Amino acid sequence: MTNVISSTIGYPRIGEKREWKRALESFWKGKIDKEELLAEMKKYRLHALRKQKELGVDLIPVGDFSFYDHMLDTAVMFGFIPERFRGGSDLLGTYFDIARGNDEAVASEMTKWFNTNYHYIVPEIEADAVPELTENRALYYFNEAKSELGITGKPVLLGPVTFLHLAKGFEEKDIDQLLEKLVPLYIQVLRELEDAGAEWVQLEEPMLTGAISETDLARFKRVYGKLQQEVPGVKVLLQTYFEAVDHYEEVVSLPVSGVGLDFVHDDGANLAAVKEYGFPEDKTLAAGVINGRNIWREDLGEKLTQLERLLEVVDKDRLIIQQSCSLLHVPVTVDTEDELDPLLKNALAFADQKLEEAAILTKGINQGESSIKDKIIAQKQSREALWNSAARNRQDVRNEMESWEGVTPRRPTSYASRQQLQQQFFKLPLLPATTIGSLPQTADIKQGRQNRRRGKWSDSEYQAFIEENIAEWISRQEEIGLDVLIHGEFERNDMVEFFGEKLEGFAFTRFAWVQSYGSRCVKPPIIFGDVALTEPMTVKEIAYAQSLTEKPVKGMLTGPITILNWSFVHEGISSFEVTKQIALALQKEIKYLEDEGIQMIQVDEPALREGLPLKPEKQEQYLREAVYSFKLATSSVKDETQIHTHMCYSEFGEIMDTIDQLDADVISIEAARSHGEIISDFERNSYEKGIGLGVYDIHSPRVPAVEEMERNIVRALKVLEPRQFWVNPDCGLKTRGIEETTAALTNMVEAARRIREKVPQNSTIS
């Protein structure tokens, strides 16, 4: 009797302890050469493949590995290299230049991967581009796995329609023309994989879970019909994730051998569609029943029941058990977390544990529920022990939440009135220059935090160290000529983790890193209980910084929506309820800052747009809840207190009304890396409050010239009033070096000064 098999959509690249990151950064710093980098990366790839095999995965992905980003991989693989980076003889060097920029050229734009905290490099493609296959990455990795480990893997590629959908540089009318050029290269890739012995090839088309048009559906039919016609010997698995497919019947009817569906984040819609419309008898269903985006152990009994319902429609030999999406979005393994409370640890499942869960469910389907009964009971007990703990049932938090029921938070005074009061209070010049929040986190800073963590320094020694760095940078910022200063965030390891460490209801890991962009990894906090604030979190350092200068120093907080979206959140109550708990904690912190004389407070929300559901019908509620939570945190301040916020790497035009509803006095937005394209959003939408469009990209290790930043400011002032414009970098500066940061900020201040001299002197600012 044929059995169900298990598979993985994708596996984390970074290694158990970020070995991948360290190798990349060593290469970029010149500490290892190209050959050493390639050898290190091969070692990590093979280790990941070997581990998946040992954990019982039947169909193992290959080609999901990347040196930086899978969208960039696809672009370079098909020769879509921006003109400013062409001409180099080293393809890997060109690849990194596109991602990071170089002395002569700015990096390509970076933006969020659907509604996740992963960032991809946006391909730049001209309508008349002629793609070419520069390298068959999928074939290389397939052959490597086969020859080195005896694994006949499942090559993974981003599908051509989604790839072009996420690219830029051409108009909608050009997509069909570009597909005509691109599809033959996909055919070549598939033929070479077939010749090498590949049975299954995974083509990922996540745009199918969004709002797609009839024109898009026609493209999918045409493209996949051509692939099937030209390479019938390869089984194409059309993989979707992050939501339900809207056009279920059309999608499962596409000419492919298998379809992967998300049965976790679909709100039950995919399962309902399978039950109502059936599933084609000539196709395999890859069922994503294990959550690939959160870290909690599954209710195996519930998942087994879900799979049994699918088996009422799909035969065993046509069912694959897997995660809902790539495991890129979760940490690697719980096994290394030896400092976690067992109550919490036993309820967690990172990537490796999710592979084990797939193997357990596969066994349960193939051998019967009794064969995994002990596993079902053990996981249920682990889940319930945490769910019923005191940390999850705080009456004080519940009481405070109830006190806000039916109350709409809002600032009592209009923005126009607040603007006048704030200008009188702060007396800032036109086009004030500031930064987003963090300053360079040097090796000394990181070593200082380690010294405290390891007990080498006392709390007083550590505090003296932090204050020394704050004082140095207050002085440096004054010398540079910034108008609004920051304390630098030297005491903070991460903009979410730092706050989570000081809030009740959060837990932290040692090695649970997740890739955010490039080599940048984050270690999301775990929100396992009710959230509460018991003492000030930021006041000491920010008040000290303010005591050193007559210029305003911004208080720096991370907003409630971002803390939620950049954490792993428990599933006991709704996300909105958790966000309100966080907002109430931040409301208290803001009051603490005001009491210490801090009256310019930045509450960052870089992840607000990121959490936007893919389905248009779900977006209004999310945005309404986001606005409520932000205002719950910020609306209790005095009129003279100026609330700032910061957002980055998003399609802001779609949520301009929401940004306005936040009622922040000043918002700063990424604009440099997108080459000022966001400015067109302000041509179509009026915005009256203060705004800073980033005038240079901090993710690239280059120092922009004064003239370059001048051009960015002038471009912005074509659609924004000088009175409302702030001059700032795109984002925080923690990843940059001291010398480049000083040089770039000096140039930025000079650019602001030059423009300030050219605008009317009687202008006012917000």
Question: From the annotation, which residues make up the binding site for Zn(2+)?
Answer: 646, 648, 670, 731
To which residue do tokens 């793609």 refer? Answer: 131
CA distance 593 to 591: 5
Handedness of CA 186, 189, 195, 198 (dihedral sign): negative
* 570 catalytic per annotation: no
Residue 361 token pair: 């469910």
Other CB atoms within 10 A of residue 367 CB = 11
C-alpha pair distances (Å), 730 with each of 108, 215, 396, 534, 574:
14, 36, 40, 33, 32
Which residues are part of a known binding site for 5-methyltetrahydropteroyltri-L-glutamate?
A: 18-21, 112, 520-521, 566, 610
Element (H, E) at 600: strand 600-604
Which residues are part of a known binding site for L-methionine?
A: 436-438, 489, 604
Angle of helix 539-547 relative to helix 459-480, nearest 10 degrees, comes to 50
CA distance 124 to 82: 6
Which amino acid makes up residue 540? K
Which residues are part of a known binding site for L-homocysteine?
A: 436-438, 489, 604
Transcribe 192-219 into DSSP letters: HHHHHT--EEEEE-GGGGS---HHHHHH
**Residues 6 or more apart in contact with residue 586 via CB below 8 angstroms:** 533, 557, 559, 560, 603, 633, 634
Residue 137 token pair: 């990455």
CA distance 622 to 167: 26
Which residues are part of a known binding site?
A: 18-21, 112, 436-438, 489, 520-521, 566, 604, 610, 646, 648, 670, 731
* Strand partners for 10: none
Q: Which of 119, 329, 570, 699 is catalytic?
A: 699
**Residues 6 or more apart in contact with residue 561 via CB below 8 angstroms:** 579, 605, 607, 608, 611, 626, 629, 630
* 691: exposed, middle or buried (Cβ count in 10 Å: 0-12, 13-18, 19+): buried
Maximum Cα interatomic distance, the chain, rounded to a whole number of Å: 84
Q: Where are the alpha helices (DSSP H) in 259-348?
A: 269-277, 300-310, 342-345
E-state strands within 626-735: 642-647, 666-669, 690-693, 725-726
CA torsion angle for 638, 579, 566, 740 (degrees, to 10)?
0
**Residues 6 or more apart in contact with residue 600 via CB below 8 angstroms:** 426, 484, 552, 553, 554, 555, 641, 642, 644
**Residues 6 or more apart in contact with residue 413 via CB below 8 angstroms:** 639
* 738: exposed, middle or buried (Cβ count in 10 Å: 0-12, 13-18, 19+): middle
For 28-55, b/e burial (b = at least 16 CB within 10 A) is eeeebeeeebeebbeebbbebbebbbeb
- SS3 of residue 413 by DSSP: coil
Q: Where are the alpha helices (DSSP H) in 330-458?
A: 342-345, 351-367, 373-387, 395-403, 415-426, 443-453
Q: Are 383 and 296 in contact (CB under 8 A)?
A: yes
Would you name the residues annotated as active-site residues?
A: 699
